[in-house]
């Protein structure tokens, strides 16, 4: 199913592109970088910090952030050249590449799952209560769909026995569960922390699992990496500097996280910052084992034949990070000389 969806998307997007950002549009003497991010969840923070603290500008780029809910949508925007870079979970770019897209993951800032599944306490007391119920997810092919289907498989529940509604925003999904409009959804901090206030039923917590997972990272087109490696490297440097700030400077990071997470609760904001600041990877290398987790699951789904023979290394490229390490960039960063 996922493979067919992305094959159709890819063929449509070949003719959809109305302008080419492959080598960067020149804006006032600098290169304009249009970056997509998925929403209000805290693992999106590196791209927010890189933009708000003008780290892209520091390296000769004018940045514009575009919120695009869902990995499939941001992947479509990348394939259409409407974005130069997207911060996304690894599921959508892997699916798109399996369907013929030319995407590659160049960094993974969050190599662990952070999501959990929660239910409406009046209707869902245990996982088996989901049968015949309605669940709100971003949409087909998205990261939270990946986790939800994974959980159903673990619980022995037929996906056809659950009604899924597409609700892209995390806040609307949480509100719908609280109100009883839907029976369950997938959340991540800060909203999984907020869910505790409403005593929602915890059904699964993937953050406690042992498997690595490409929760969030940078994705570009292979064409851009081949044709303008220097630009991609500068984008990556700005991104890495943002991760370093997130891990070491709460005073600058927390206000930005609060702004983009759209929360005012100081306790939840600080708890979210502390949670993610420890979780972000530096250097943000992509783990082949994490990609294997995605491929293994996709291979078990209808239309997942191509995932069975795929190799993890086809979907990511750590070479720029390795290059920066050889140049001493990370050593200078840790010593305070890289910023």
User: Contact, 113 vs 209, CB < 8 A?
Assistant: yes
User: How does DSSP assign 259-282, residue by residue?
Assistant: HHHT---HHHHHHHHHHHHHHS-S
Domains and CATH numbers, the chain: 2-113+213-335 (3.40.190.10), 116-208 (3.40.190.10)
85, β-bridge pairs: 35
pLDDT digits (tens, 9 = 90+) for 210-265: 789 999 999 999 999 999 999 999 999 999 999 999 999 999 999 999 999 999 99
The reported pLDDT for the residue numbered 206 is 92
Buried b (16+ CB within 10 A) or exposed e, 125-146: eebebbeebbbbbbbebbbbbb
Among residues 96, 34, 101, the alpha carbon closest in space to that of 61 is found at 34
User: Contact, 105 vs 185, CB < 8 A?
Assistant: no
> Given its phi and psi angles, is residue 329 left (phi above 0), alpha (psi -120 to 50 degrees) or beta?
alpha
pLDDT digits (tens, 9 = 90+) for 318-329: 999 999 999 999
> What's this model's pTM, rounded to 2 decimal places?
0.88
Among residues 287, 333, 273, 311, the alpha carbon closest in space to that of 112 is found at 287
């Amino acid at each position: 199913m996922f493979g067919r969806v992305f094959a159709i998307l890819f063929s449509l997007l070949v003719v959809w592109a109305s302008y080419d950002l492959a080598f960067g549009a020149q804006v006032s003497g600098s290169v304009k970088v249009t970056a997509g991010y998925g929403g209000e969840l805290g693992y999106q923070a590196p791209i927010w910090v890189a933009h708000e603290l003008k780290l892209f500008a520091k390296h000769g780029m004018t940045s514009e952030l575009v919120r695009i809910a869902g990995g499939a949508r941001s992947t479509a925007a990348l394939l259409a050249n409407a974005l130069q870079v997207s911060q996304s979970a690894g599921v959508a770019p892997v699916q798109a590449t399996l369907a013929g897209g030319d995407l590659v993951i160049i960094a993974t800032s969050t190599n662990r799952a952070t999501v959990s599944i929660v239910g409406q306490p009046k209707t869902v007391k245990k996982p088996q209560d989901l049968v015949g119920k309605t669940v709100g997810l971003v949409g087909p092919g998205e990261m939270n769909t990946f986790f939800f289907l994974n959980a159903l498989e673990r619980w022995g529940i037929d996906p056809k026995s659950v009604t899924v509604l597409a609700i892209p925003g995390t806040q609307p999904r949480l509100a719908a569960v609280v109100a009883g409009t839907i029976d369950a959804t997938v959340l991540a901090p800060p909203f999984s922390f907020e869910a505790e206030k409403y005593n929602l039923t915890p059904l699964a917590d993937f953050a406690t699992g042992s498997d690595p997972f490409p929760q969030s990272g940078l994705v570009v087109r292979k064409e851009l990496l081949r044709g303008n490696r220097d630009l991609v490297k500068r984008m990556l440097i700005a991104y890495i500097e943002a991760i370093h700030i997130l891990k070491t400077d709460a005073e600058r990071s927390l206000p930005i996280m609060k702004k983009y997470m759209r929360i005012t609760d100081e306790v939840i904001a600080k708890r979210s910052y502390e949670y993610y600041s420890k979780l972000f990877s530096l250097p943000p290398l992509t783990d082949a084992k994490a990609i294997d987790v995605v491929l293994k699951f996709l291979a078990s789904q209808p239309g997942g034949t191509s995932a069975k023979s795929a190799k993890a290394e086809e979907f990511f490229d750590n070479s720029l990070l390795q290059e920066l390490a050889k140049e001493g960039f990370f050593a200078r960063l840790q010593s305070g000389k890289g910023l």
